[in-house]
């Protein structure tokens, strides 16, 4: 089975677990008065579950592409025998950076950790113009913080814990 089909199968399994939580566990803690509402907190997760399973099934059961090697290279099919030719190190570094970002949100604060994540992620991907990158990352992090904190009214700690 091709790699895309294995990924689709794993995606379907993830959607099934998410769907179990959406369909059977999310609505149990609702007060009785909210159970009469047409839209519950689990409505969007239920729609995501159904859409994810449908998309996964389409990928899983779509017909196989032609075995022509030149056409496979043109279509962007991953050749597992040449896995070393891809930028696997960059991908793993970005995944590690995402995990570090999640752990750094509380101690460093949203603004600091987001600016660090954007700058280090761009450096991993090959950007070297730090005089442009740092202000752009600062503006992006500040804009997102402002929208979440002030416009949506969701508290988001902007500074490190020891400064507050």
**16-42 pLDDT, tens digit each:** 999 998 888 887 777 888 778 888 878
Select the more confidently predicted residue: 39 or 13. 13
pLDDT at 36: 80
pLDDT at 131: 93
Degrees, nearest 5: CA angle 15-21-27? 140
N- to C-terminal Cα separation, the chain: 53
* Structure tokens belonging to residue 16: 């099934």
User: Which are the contacts of 111, defined by CB distance < 8 A and separation ≥ 6?
Assistant: 138, 141, 142, 145, 158, 159
Q: In whole angstroms, what is the distance from residue 77 CA to residue 162 CA? A: 49
pLDDT at 154: 81
Select the more confidently predicted residue: 113 or 63. 113
Q: Is the pLDDT of residue 74 over 70?
A: no
Q: Is the pLDDT of residue 84 over 90?
A: no
Q: How confident is the model at residue 75 (pLDDT cuts 50, 70, 90)?
A: low
Statement: the pTM of the whole predicted model exceeds 0.85? no
CA neighbor of 5 nearest in space, from 81, 74, 61:
61
pLDDT at 16: 94
Q: Is the pLDDT of residue 13 over 80?
A: yes
Q: How many CB atoms lie within 10 A of CB 146?
A: 13
């Amino acid at each position: 089975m091709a790699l895309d089909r294995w990924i689709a199968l794993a995606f379907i399994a993830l959607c099934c677990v998410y769907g179990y939580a959406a369909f059977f566990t999310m609505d149990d803690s609702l007060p009785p008065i909210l159970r009469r509402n047409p839209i519950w907190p689990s409505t969007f997760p239920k729609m995501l579950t159904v859409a994810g399973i449908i998309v996964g099934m389409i990928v899983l059961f779509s017909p196989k592409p032609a075995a022509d090697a030149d056409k496979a290279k043109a279509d962007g099919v991953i050749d597992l025998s040449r896995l070393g030719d891809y930028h696997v190190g960059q991908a793993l570094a970005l995944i590690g950076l995402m995990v570090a970002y999640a752990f750094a949100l509380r101690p460093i604060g949203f603004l600091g950790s987001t600016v660090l994540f954007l700058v280090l992620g761009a450096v991993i991907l090959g950007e070297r113009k730090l005089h442009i990158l740092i202000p752009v990352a600062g503006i992006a992090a500040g804009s997102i913080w402002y929208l979440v904190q002030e416009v949506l009214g969701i508290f988001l700690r902007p500074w490190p814990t020891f400064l507050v």
